[in-house]
Structure 1
Amino acid sequence: MSARPIIPCAIYTRKSSDEGLHQGFNALDAQHEACAAFIASQKQEGWKPVAARYDDGGLSGGTLNRPALQRLLADIDAGKVRMVVVYKIDRLTRSLADFARLVERFDRSGCSFVSVTQAFNTATSMGRLTLNVLLSFAQFEREVTAERIRDKIAASKKKGLWMGGMPPLGYDPHPDPRARTLVINPAEADDVRSLFDLYRHHGCLRQVEIAAQTAGIRSKVRRFANGRRSGGTTLSRGQIHKILTNPVYVGHIRHKDQIHPGLHEAIITKDLWDAVQTLLQEASRRPRGRPRKNGDQADVASTLFLGKLHDETGDRLTPTHARKGERRISYYVSRRLLRDGPCEHGTGWRLPAAQVDAMLVRMITDHLERAAARHRIVQSSDVAAIGTSAAKMMAIIDRVRADPSATAALVERAVIVPGSLTVDLDRAALAADLDTTPDALEPGLLTLTTSFHRKRRGIETRIVAGDWHPEPDPVLTKALAHAHRWLDALHAGQTLSHIARTQHCTQAFIRTRLRLAFLSPAIQQAIMDGTQPATLTLEKIVRTGLPLDWSEQARTFDFKA
């Protein structure tokens, strides 16, 4: 009769906590001894223990990231182990999903699994079924234990206890480990008070960061049991913000989104805390922007109504920009388009900021001028008061026309919807400029609504709002001037190819734009005066065949008879 093949058996042991592991004979040794005895009882089947030990002490069964287990898996893959022996199933893992992965890996390498106190193995289908049932209960026990721990932490924090972890700057753990609270570190507490005072003074995290670096304020130094040291570095803006918003400094304990009174002493007074939180909230509502270079100063004037424009969904129109060569062009764009992109939202606004600002300034000044002319400024029957308010209103209008940026202070909110634009003026600001009380202002003075449309002008968008004001199109006027200059050159005997070379363009480019010189005198005058229809663009003239009859030209380009 042939001898039975040798089956190399590995014993795996695990203990969740490190309690008692320093003893001469601990729980891991007890598990190993029981497993070794079981292997000895199977000697006639060819079972033989391997020399290596696979012991994980103080490690949870909720993860497979355990040193001894990883060594065991490597030896199984290498063919050194064909049987894994454990004292109980939950010593190997408490997760049903992890167990399924382990069994699959065992099968690939021709390895089986045996539990000493639960007499079955994974070589049979019934054994696997029983293991899955037992592991389901093991996983349930693990989840219940985790819930109990979370509930215990929540209840302890509700009582104001410090539940461990890295203490924040300004505090140290209590010397008595049974006293679950914090004690003040005097030197670090002074640094914390300085940070709060600096923010109350500057109201800007960047300036606080610079001041903290100058003052030598550093992060908390932490020393670990293995001798490793961390911290002691300069504070970043993120770290400073975390300190300024941590309720522990005012004597509270935070648990998720709840704040509870703590047992430790506060470093910051309640008044200082409230003042800093108010400043932080105001700063979070401030429109974000970056410092501009000297060459970008023109953009400051092209985003006058920063944070005050909204669309029909309530979304704020945020300033952004694009560059065309050396030129920087600013836009007001619906915030959702910047956040999610055009693929997420089919609608949204992208408006030229310079046009919007100029339109709003003109619209508001015209509205105020009409109100002054009609004496619809204040609710009063006093002729002298009415005349005084009209004079002051004209002074406001003159100031705004001289400095358009002053208009922004008069606007509380502007809402753009398809077809109309509504502006709500700031009642308090307008009353202050008129030296009157907000309640004395005429209600109709504070809100104005006008039509609002976008029209394409070549690759640009032209804004048409309210009463139309003549405005020459610089693209059209420049093209018209070039057309006449090139026509004069042709009359002087120059060839089209020569003109194209001197202008650094193609002959086709010149040929398509020469036709502007053959527009009717009335159309050319309208282009120079800016009274042409909003739909008339250079692109339309280039793409549209130019009729020789002047009346037909007027009809083609939407001029009224």
Structure 2
Amino acid sequence: MSARLLKPRHAGPRDGWRLPASELERLLVELLNDTLSDPSFGPRSLGAGDADALQTARSRLLDRVAAVRANEACAFDLIERVDLARGTIRMRLSAGAYAAITGCREQEIVADALVIHAPFTDRKRGVETKLYLGAPLPEHDHTLIRNIVTARRWLDDLTTGMSFAAIAAREGTSKRRVKDLVDLAMLSPRLLDRIAAGERPDGLATDALIKQGFPARWSEQERQFLRS
């Protein structure tokens, strides 16, 4: 994690998980900008201020959003604390920094409004972890889907008596490739449903399945890949 987001903590058991600093900072910037851009945030955070003061605050908040978009470092003096749990992020803004930005007095700020809660999702992309606010749109692994369709077709060919060599010759590929790929036809219906929905579990990719293999029993496949 970036040093600018770290604060000294008392020593204790380590029960966290690794998240890439650049992705976490990007997520915080996105959440901050979404919050400051929300027209209701000024009135919620400043209580019953007069119309002119609220309009001034709104204008200054939008100026800060523009500044953060130009230079993300402008976000972090406003963020006082961040707490993460699986699937949830809690960000607390600094009342002093917020008062300076909006031009209001710190005692006028509604403290609870400066605590922002949001869901987030982490997804593996190869060796990288990507973070998304809320639930990300489904992302289909078209290569895996295409290979499963091919595998099921080849399995049908095998059950009608064609040999691996004959299928390989027809497809212009190697017999080894046919043998490797046809195993994908044995994936469980639950895994196939997840893949088709764009919710592919970690480790469920063509290369990984071929190189590492997977259990023949559907129940064991699901224990391996559907840990949650």
Q: TM over 0.5, yes or no?
A: yes
Q: How many Å apart are 1:495 and its aligned residue?
A: 3.0
Distance in 2, Cα, partners of 1:544 & 1:395:
56
User: Judging changes above 3 Å, is the alpha-carbon distance between structure 1 residues 463 and 310 closer, same or farther for their aligned structure 2 residues?
Assistant: farther
Q: Residue by residue, what CA displacement relative to the aligned partner does 1:184-211 show, whole Å, maximum 9, x if unpaired?
A: xxxxxxxxxxxxxxxxxxxxxxxxxxxx
Residue 63 of structure 2 corresponds to: 395
Q: Residue by residue, what CA displacement relative to the aligned partner does 1:364-394 show, whole Å, maximum 9, x if unpaired?
A: 2233334646732424431122123223323
User: Judging changes above 3 Å, is the alpha-carbon distance between structure 1 residues 486 and 409 closer, same or farther for their aligned structure 2 residues?
Assistant: farther
Structure 1 segment 482-501 matched on structure 2, within 5 A: 483=147, 493-497=170-174
Contact 2:36 2:65 in 1 (8 A): yes
1:539 aligns to 2:204 (yes or no)? yes
Distance in 1, Cα, partners of 2:63 & 2:185:
48
User: Judging changes above 3 Å, is the alpha-carbon distance between structure 1 residues 381 and 413 closer, same or farther for their aligned structure 2 residues?
Assistant: closer
Contact 2:141 2:195 in 1 (8 A): no
> Which secondary structure does the structure 2 equivalent of 1:351 belong to?
coil
Distance in 2, Cα, partners of 1:544 & 1:457:
23
Read off the aligned partner of 2:204 and give its amino acid letter: E
Structure 1 segment 338-357 matched on structure 2, within 5 A: 347-357=15-25
> Which secondary structure does the structure 2 equivalent of 1:390 belong to?
helix
User: Judging changes above 3 Å, is the alpha-carbon distance between structure 1 residues 434 and 391 closer, same or farther for their aligned structure 2 residues?
Assistant: same
Match of 2:3 among 295, 298, 306: 306
User: Judging changes above 3 Å, is the alpha-carbon distance between structure 1 residues 361 and 384 closer, same or farther for their aligned structure 2 residues?
Assistant: same
Structure 1 segment 53-452 matched on structure 2, within 5 A: 305-309=2-6, 314=9, 347-370=15-38, 372=40, 375-401=43-69, 403-417=71-85, 420-450=88-118
Read off the aligned partner of 1:308 and give its amino acid letter: L
Read off the aligned partner of 1:483 and give its amino acid letter: N
> Which secondary structure does the structure 2 equivalent of 1:409 belong to?
coil
> Which secondary structure does the structure 1 equivalent of 2:92 belong to?
strand
Distance in 1, Cα, partners of 2:182 & 2:73:
43
User: Judging changes above 3 Å, is the alpha-carbon distance between structure 1 residues 403 and 536 closer, same or farther for their aligned structure 2 residues?
Assistant: farther
Specify every segment of 5 or more residues in structure 1 that has no aligned partner in the other structure, as ranges: 1-302, 316-335, 337-343, 501-505, 548-556
Distance in 1, Cα, partners of 2:65 & 2:112:
18
How many residue pairs align between the two structures?
197
Distance in 1, Cα, partners of 2:201 & 2:116:
29
Read off the aligned partner of 1:423 and give its amino acid letter: M
Contact 2:37 2:62 in 1 (8 A): yes
Residue 122 of structure 1 corresponds to: none
1:470 aligns to 2:147 (yes or no)? no
Q: How many Å apart are 1:456 and its aligned residue?
A: 7.0
TM-score (norm 2): 0.57
Contact 2:80 2:93 in 1 (8 A): yes
Contact 2:168 2:174 in 1 (8 A): no
Q: How many Å apart are 1:404 and its aligned residue?
A: 3.7
Contact 2:119 2:135 in 1 (8 A): no
The one of the two structures with greater contact order (alpha-carbon pairs below 8 A, sep at least 6) is: 2
Contact 1:410 1:426 in 2 (8 A): yes
Distance in 2, Cα, partners of 1:390 & 1:491:
66
Q: How many Å apart are 1:352 and its aligned residue?
A: 2.4
User: Judging changes above 3 Å, is the alpha-carbon distance between structure 1 residues 455 and 481 closer, same or farther for their aligned structure 2 residues?
Assistant: closer
**Percent identity among equivalent residues?**
20
Distance in 2, Cα, partners of 1:515 & 1:457:
24
Contact 1:392 1:434 in 2 (8 A): yes
Residue 155 of structure 2 corresponds to: none
Q: How many Å apart are 1:497 and its aligned residue?
A: 0.9
Greater fraction of residues in helix? 2
CA RMSD of aligned residues (A): 4.9
User: Judging changes above 3 Å, is the alpha-carbon distance between structure 1 residues 429 and 437 closer, same or farther for their aligned structure 2 residues?
Assistant: same
Read off the aligned partner of 2:117 and give its amino acid letter: T
Specify every segment of 5 or more residues in structure 2 that has no aligned partner in the other structure, as ranges: 152-166, 219-224
Q: How many Å apart are 1:481 and its aligned residue?
A: 7.6
Distance in 2, Cα, partners of 1:508 & 1:404:
50
Q: How many Å apart are 1:469 and its aligned residue?
A: 3.3
Distance in 1, Cα, partners of 2:101 & 2:170:
65
Distance in 1, Cα, partners of 2:23 & 2:215:
27
Contact 1:309 1:416 in 2 (8 A): no
Distance in 2, Cα, partners of 1:349 & 1:521:
28
Q: Residue by residue, what CA displacement relative to the aligned partner does 1:156-195 show, whole Å, maximum 9, x if unpaired?
A: xxxxxxxxxxxxxxxxxxxxxxxxxxxxxxxxxxxxxxxx
Distance in 2, Cα, partners of 1:495 & 1:427:
67
> Which secondary structure does the structure 1 equivalent of 2:19 belong to?
strand
User: Judging changes above 3 Å, is the alpha-carbon distance between structure 1 residues 545 and 363 closer, same or farther for their aligned structure 2 residues?
Assistant: farther
Contact 1:410 1:430 in 2 (8 A): yes
Distance in 2, Cα, partners of 1:376 & 1:307:
28
Distance in 1, Cα, partners of 2:186 & 2:72:
39
Distance in 1, Cα, partners of 2:37 & 2:55:
14
Distance in 1, Cα, partners of 2:203 & 2:216:
13
Distance in 1, Cα, partners of 2:179 & 2:13:
40
